[in-house]
Structure 1
Amino acid sequence: MANDKLTPKQEKFCVEYLVDLNATQAAIRAGYSEKTAEATASRLLRNVKVQTRIQELRSEYFTKAIASAAEVEAFLSKTIRGDLEEEVIVVEGSGEGYSEARIVKKQVSARDRIKAAELMGKRHQLFTEKVKVDSIVPVVIKGEDDLEP
């Protein structure tokens, strides 16, 4: 192909389409005519280059949005060690029936640390007495034809 690149409008359509998966509105937001947006959107969604680009953008989004196993383990480790703080609202009396609320940072609770340790332990199979066996066992099925006379 002479031109494997998308036009700027097609690229904008791909980005806008992923906002709400409404092709007609994506075409309008990308700068195509409102009068022909529905037909244009339909044509764009059948275009292989546009389909490929939409899939690439979705992949990039999910790669950035979804935590990796390493990130989850790092978060659980920080929680277990007490290196993680959370914000809580504290209400304190300020005299003569008045109280004030303020936000303070505190270490995560012991219960949260225990839960993180439990999840990490499950991840590393620390609490199981079952033995995991990976083997192939042949299965022989005999039918009437296999029986001796």
Structure 2
Amino acid sequence: MTEAQKRFADEYLIDLNATRAYKTAYPSVKKDSTAAAAGTRLLRNVNVLAYVEERMKQLEDQAIAKQEEVLKYLTSVMRGECKEETLRGIGEGAQRIDDIDVSAKDRLKAAELLGKRYSMWTDKKEVKATFEGVSKLDKIIEQLTDDDEEITEDDL
């Protein structure tokens, strides 16, 4: 992949406008119609397409919090390691107060969310049971395979 193609791909990722990206990467091209056609053609180039997809994946990974990051954040809130900015007062006379401890309510909510994640408490009971004998369905299947017997309404 050439430097100009890489520049095109990086510019394309800004606003997904192939015409503008092509004109930026190849400044000698002045016509929009030429830039549009060439930009579309470049987006079909295997190397350029692979680069764009790789960069989009990287950008997505940076933008979206992963499970581990969320758990670390909730843990830091629960432990009171996070600080928050607040305002005291109303309107223009409000004073900004930095580095105030996270409220007990927020810490409790973080603990609750972590507890749910790790199934520390639940209203549901997990019951494991085994049944001996033949179920109604098994009896019906058995009767269907047996030509001599007829299924009656009582069997269902």
**TM-score, normalization: structure 1?**
0.75
Where does residue 3 of structure 2 map in the other structure?
8
Q: Does 1:64 align with 2:62?
A: yes
Aligned pair 1:119/2:117, yes or no?
Answer: no
SS in 1 for 2:146: coil
For residue 26 of structure 1, report the CA deviation from its aligned partner: 1.6
Q: Which amino acid aligns with 1:115?
A: K
Cα distance in 2 for partners of 1:29, 1:112 equals 48
Secondary structure in structure 1 of the residue aligned to 2:126: coil
Size of the aligned set, in residue pairs, is 129
What is the deviation of 1:80? 0.6
1:47 aligns to what? 45
Relative to structure 1, the CA distance from residue 122 to residue 132 in structure 2 (aligned partners, 3 Å threshold; closer, same or farther) is: farther
Structure 2 distance, partners of 1:8, 1:67, is: 32
Relative contact order higher in (CA < 8 Å, ≥ 6 apart) = 1
Rate the CA distance shift 1:121–1:34 in 2: closer, same or farther, 3 A: farther
When residues 41 and 132 of structure 1 are mapped into structure 2, their CA distance, relative to the original with a 3 A threshold, is farther
Where does structure 1 lack aligned partners over 5 or more consecutive residues?
Answer: 1-5, 93-98, 134-139
Q: Does 1:85 align with 2:78?
A: no
Name the CA distance, whole Å, in 2 between partners of 1:12 and 1:130. 58
Q: Secondary structure at the match of 1:88?
A: strand
Residue 21 (1) aligns with residue 13 (2): no
Q: In the alignment, what sits opposite 1:3?
A: none
Residue identity (%): 40
**Superposed displacement of residue 50, structure 1:** 0.7
Change (3 A) 1:130 1:26: farther
Query: Root-mean-square deviation (CA), in Å?
Result: 2.5
Cα distance change on mapping 1:132 and 1:81 into 2, 3 Å: farther
Q: Which secondary structure does the structure 1 equivalent of 2:94 belong to?
A: strand
**TM-score between both structures, scaled by the size of structure 2:** 0.72
Return the structure number with greater helix share.
2
Say whether 1:31 aligns with 2:26. Answer: yes
Residue 16 of structure 1 deviates from its aligned partner by 1.2
Could you say what secondary structure the match of 1:34 adopts?
coil
Which one has the largest radius of gyration?
A: 2
User: 2: CA distance between counterparts of 1:103 and 1:115?
Assistant: 25
Looking at secondary structure, tell me which structure has more strand per residue: 1
The structural deviation recorded for 1:125 is 1.3
Report the secondary structure of 1:57's partner residue.
Answer: helix
Aligned equivalent of 2:134: none
